[in-house]
A and B are shown apart, each in its own frame.
Chain A
Amino acid sequence: MIDRDQVLHVARLARLRLDDAEVERMAGELSTILDHIEKIGELDLDDVEPTSHVIQVENVLRPDEPRPSLPREKALEQAPDATEDGFRVPSPGGS
């Protein structure tokens, strides 16, 4: 079960603003889904290694050669608000 307060807490972590109706619906839906997911709690997995990557790969380093990167104006082109040399946002420190 996941209640209203937990939904609001997780929404804050995820930087999602939910309206009251969404919070209500989310609590119900997440609870139903988590009930199903919790069935994996019944499995004996004590000696099982976790898998994070399925295909064995060796870590390789690319050659350390200088090459052009994305030009600044191209990187800034799609921003909703940009200055000549950066993305503009409100001060993280607040006003």
Chain B
Amino acid sequence: MSDLLELTAAQAAERVRAGEVSPAELFELYRERARGDELGAYLWVSDDEPPETPAGAPLGGVPLAVKDLFCVEGVPSAAGSRILEGYRPPYTATAVERLNAAGAPTLGKTNMDEFAMGSSNENSGYGPVRNPWDTGRVPGGSSGGSAAAVAAGLAPWAIGTDTGGSIRQPAALCGIVGLKPTYGAVSRYGMIAFASSLDQCGPLTRDVTDAALLFRHMIGHDPCDSTSLEFPEPVGLPTAERLDGVRIGVPPELSGEGVEAGVREVFERTLGLVEELGGQIEEVALPHSPHGIAAYYVLAPAEASANLARYDGVRYGPRKGRNGDGDLTALYEETRAAGFGAEVKRRIMLGTYALSSGYYEAYYGRAQRVRTKIADDFRSAFERVDLILTPTSPTVAFKLGERTDDPLAMYLSDYCTVPMPLAGIPAISIPGGLSEGLPVGIQLAGPAFSENRILDAAHALERAIGFDGSAPRA
């Protein structure tokens, strides 16, 4: 049985189809693993009977770890926040519902930075997650629990959400694959909102094929999310082994200064592999991307400050403040003071300030214009190249506590992943190799709805890289 843990989800589904293992056995095996979690990756593990999986279900009954940001009916769903402690939603997010229906039952809810605000998972209201490659280090964030669970073999696959890098960066730091889809490709219904114009959910998996398999069952228009779209073409399972004729752009702004030496080395080795596989490397300019962090840290907190106004101790979550005093404002203020963590308060303050009278145009208005320029840069680049290649994170996983005292330093470390959601375009992170024994992520981005192209190229590169992710599964 334990050799099943070594399989990718697609391989496990194959075993189910061949009748070698039942979905219930698979569920029990992973439930056992999830219950033994010592990384803090899970916030809740299912204790239901293993759900019935109809024969022939495309996802084969292979269980799914779900970021705590997704509402799942009757299951604790708190987005990593104390302000939603004990909340059990009356409905299930569309993405989760679709994956459940396709044969990936919910195994558990994974830990995350509170309301997806963070790059280290240290902002969770329920304690940090540890990186399975080195438990003294962070798994990245905000989907740190999902990434750590997949890397450590505590889940066959997982879903997370990405607003400024929250799927790709933890995938990179944990040595797995993470795909942030085109904005609108997957319904956001039932995702607890952080920054609605940026949030997208996507898969975190052991390999590129698993990512494609999960993704193809998440997509499509949903009447409950008016920004969701019908994907313009079927999503296939990637088969490419070569990159002949594929033009790959390398932007110096996202791959030069600031990238640590070990990451640089893995990145350059990957460029060599691209050429060996027949791809062409070209330098492309993304001149406004260095302003991505500034624009992002206006737009995302501004949207968050509005989205998080709903947490006031009235409809859900614990209430603080003396009810009998007849002071409604005090009830709001005390509930929010007690329920939100430091980073969430900081972002609400930043967003409220940026939207406040007299500052709106200088901050929010300008940031929206920078967003246009960043999207224009990508559009011009994609006239010359098919895909853009960068490191996912400028560093490998850092030590727990190392960056918690300097919020700006933590923000700045996201500069490789922030421009893509600002432009609404898809990007994947795949493991490129190790630096000092820790995984390095390589990011491939493409134009809107180019997921098939991205997955194919990532598949070819993955084979050439031959990354061994089995170390942390022991």
Contacts and interface: CB of A to CB of B under 8 A. Distances in A.
Interface in B394-438: 407-408, 411-412, 422-424
| Secondary structure of the A contact surface, majority rule | loop
A77 to B, nearest CB: 7
B127 interface: no
A94 B326 contact: yes
A49 to B, nearest CB: 6
Contacts of B350: 30, 33-34
Interface stretch (B33-41, B208-216, B221-229, B270-278): B221-229
Contacts of A91: 326, 328
A15 B337 CA distance: 9
A95 B326 contact: yes
Contact of B325 (A18, A53, A90): A90
A17 B337 contact: yes
Interface stretch (B8-16, B94-102, B163-171, B310-318): B310-318
Interface residues of B, number: 73
Interface in B310-357: 312-319, 323-329, 331-334, 336-337, 340, 342, 345-346, 348-350, 352-353, 356
B349 A15 contact: no
| Secondary structure of the B contact surface, majority rule | helix
Interface string A3-19: 00011001101111110
Contacts of A54: 183, 197, 371, 375, 422-424, 448
Interface in B271-320: 288, 291, 293-295, 297-298, 305, 309, 312-319
A16 B424 contact: no
B373 interface: yes
B169 to A, nearest CB: 19
A37 B294 contact: yes
B365 interface: yes
A16 B333 CA distance: 5
A33 B312 contact: no
B463 interface: no
Interface in A17-75: 17-18, 22, 26, 29-30, 32-34, 36-41, 43, 45, 48-55, 57, 59-60, 62, 70, 74-75
B366 A40 contact: yes
11 contacts: A10-B353, A13-B356, A14-B352, A26-B345, A30-B350, A40-B294, A43-B369, A49-B369, A54-B424, A57-B229, A77-B90
Interface of B: 87-91, 182-184, 197, 223, 226-227, 229, 288, 291, 293-295, 297-298, 305, 309, 312-319, 323-329, 331-334, 336-337, 340, 342, 345-346, 348-350, 352-353, 356, 362-363, 365-373, 375, 407-408, 411-412, 422-424, 448
10 smallest beta-carbon distances between A and B, as pairs: A54-B424, A95-B326, A50-B368, A80-B319, A17-B333, A17-B337, A45-B369, A78-B316, A48-B369, A14-B352
Interface of A: 2, 6-7, 10-11, 13-18, 22, 26, 29-30, 32-34, 36-41, 43, 45, 48-55, 57, 59-60, 62, 70, 74-75, 77-81, 87, 89-92, 94-95
